Amino acid sequence: MPVVLKRWWRTTFGLVAIVALGFALATLAIGVVAFETTHEALEQQLDHRIATETQALIDEGDDGPAGVADAIRRRETARGADSLDYRLVAPDGVTVAGQLDAEVPTQAGFVELLPYVHTGERRIAQSLTTILPGGHRLLVAADRGVIDDMDATLLRLFAGAFGAMLVLGIGAAWIVGLVTRHRLAQIDRTALAIIDGDLSQRMPVSGTGDEFDRVSATLNRMLDRIGTLMDNLRQVSSDVAHDLRTPLTRLHNRLEEALATQERERQHTAITAAADQSRELLDIFAALLRIAEVEGQAAQSHFQRLDLSALVENIVETYRPDMEASDHLLTATIEPGLTIDGDRRLLQQLVANLFDNVLTHTPAGTNVSVDLARSPRGARLCLSDDGPDASADESDHLFRRFSRGEASRSRPGHGLGLALVRAIADAHRGRATIDRTSGFAVMIDLEVANQAVETNV
């Protein structure tokens, strides 16, 4: 037997069909209970009517069997369609009154199924036999046709409800299975296209906001994230191949120079230069690994509530002596009490990189301003200076790895400082931008925590 048939109950159709069958069986169970309850209630009602009529005959014929016989004759004279049937027999079995064509039981009490004949037709009645003083037996009976008709009506209703529930359930299972298979087939085709290498494909979204749309939206966000990481990987590969070629070439040339000469002084000089260049390469790779680590968002597992205002103020005071020693004029305006959920070490690295960037790429006498204030997004950290400005084309690429302004190529550095700044800002669900309105400014927008918590920095 095919596996699909063996496990049909695991399919969408099978699951919905099982639920529909459960509802149908529940309807059947309710129908059985309702049928039994209604049937029993009708029988009790008929028994009560028969008992009441019997007592009424006895009360009317209080002078004995003759009075009961007269009461029976009066009722039969005024007989209606739903009237009861009667028979009064003497102790010897001779009929005294009544037209009921049935055998009168010898024992007193109810008989649920009493055969009798009515206009030549054999029928069933529900009856009560009462022994009167003197041995006369009074039989009062009511035809069970009304109960049988009600039973038949209830059975038809419940059978129809069961069948309708079953048909609707199977139909609903087929429709749900069809819709589900169609939506899943779309997702499957998209996934196969992505597997084949078309990373531009995205899961289809119908716009209804249903469960499939929510799953598709989540998958699309995941694919966007994967696409971003792939772009970063391609960029890193390209940048590493392009920007590390020169230092690796210099390192190779230094080693070749050391091998080509027999002069110990020249060998020592070449090896020392090669060692310096290898350390520079190690620093570059360490920075690249640090950026990759931050972009992997592993840092979010170390987030805690911290006082951003105190953190920035401490970094400012740490760099103030260096700024003064290099003839930079540093001013700071920090709004107190701004808290954030983040990684303290990474945020310290972010602010330190901004200061290092100023110290490296701006001349003496540059005015440097640090501003931290509340913004519509949350908190905005801005470090600006009035030193040489980058061109518009350059500022668009300064956050990329190994990207440097034309005026900075003669200065130390590898173009990774601002790349790490942006990676740290992104890891904190923030944004890093460059403002060229006046001078050169790097702005960091971060989300402020909902509740301020005092934290030692």
Distance CA 152, CA 341 (A): 72
Q: What is the pLDDT of residue 121?
A: 84
pLDDT at 372: 92
Q: Give the orientation angle of helix 308-325 with respect to helix 344-361, to 10 degrees.
A: 30
Which residues contact residue 47 at a Cβ distance below 8 angstroms, ignoring those fewer than 6 apart? Answer: 110, 126, 128
Count Cβ neighbours within 10 Å for each residue of 16-53 and write b for 16 or more, e otherwise.
bbeebeebbeebbeebeeebeeeeeebeeebbebbeeb
- HEC readout, the chain: CCHHHHCHHHCHHHHHHHHHHHHHHHHHHHHHHHHHHHHHHHHHHHHHHHHHHHHHHHHHCCCCHHHHHHHHHHHHHCCCCCCCEEEEECCCCCEEECCCECCCCCCCEEEEEEEEEECCEEEEEEEEEEECCCCCEEEEEEECHHHHHHHHHHHHHHHHHHHHHHHHHHHHHHHHHHHHHHHHHHHHHHHHHHHCCCCCCCCCCCCCCCHHHHHHHHHHHHHHHHHHHHHHHHHHHHHHHHHCHHHHHHHHHHHHHHHHCCCHHHHHHHHHHHHHHHHHHHHHHHHHHHHHHHHCCHHHHHCEEEEHHHHHHHHHHHHHHHHHHCCCEEEEEECCCCEEEECHHHHHHHHHHHHHHHHHHCCCCCEEEEEEEECCCCEEEEEEECCCCCCHHHHCCCCCCCCCCHHHCCCCCCCCHHHHHHHHHHHCCCEEEEECCCCEEEEEEECCCCCCCCCCC
Q: Please write the tens of the pLDDT for every residue from 204-238.
A: 888 877 778 888 888 888 888 788 777 766 766 66
Contacts of 307 (CB under 8 A, 6+ apart): 337, 338, 339, 453, 454, 455, 457
CATH fold for the domain made of 301-446: Heat Shock Protein 90 (3.30.565)
Q: CB under 8 Å, gap of 24 or more: what pairs does 156-163 form?
A: 157/31, 158/27, 158/28, 158/31, 158/32, 158/34, 158/35, 161/27, 161/31, 162/24, 162/27, 162/28, 162/31
Q: What pLDDT was estimated at residue 402?
A: 57
Give the Å distances, CA to CA, from 129 to 64, 108, 114, 441.
16, 5, 11, 110
Could you give the angle at which helices 12-60 and 145-195 cross, rounded to 10 degrees?
170
Q: Give the pTM.
A: 0.47
Q: Which two tokens stand for residue 315?
A: 């970094």
The pLDDT of residue 397 is: 64
Domain ranges of the chain: 211-294, 301-446
pLDDT at 118: 81
List the chain pLDDT tens, one digit each, 457 residues: 444 444 655 666 677 777 777 777 887 788 888 888 888 888 888 889 889 988 888 888 777 888 888 888 888 888 776 778 888 888 888 888 888 888 888 888 888 888 888 888 888 888 898 888 888 888 898 888 888 888 888 888 888 877 887 788 778 777 877 888 788 888 888 888 888 878 788 888 888 777 788 888 888 888 887 887 777 667 666 666 656 676 778 778 878 888 887 888 888 888 888 887 787 777 767 766 666 667 666 666 678 889 999 999 999 999 899 888 888 998 999 999 899 888 888 888 888 888 888 888 888 888 899 999 998 878 999 998 887 655 445 555 676 655 555 444 444 555 677 888 888 888 888 888 887 666 788 888 988 876 433 444 4
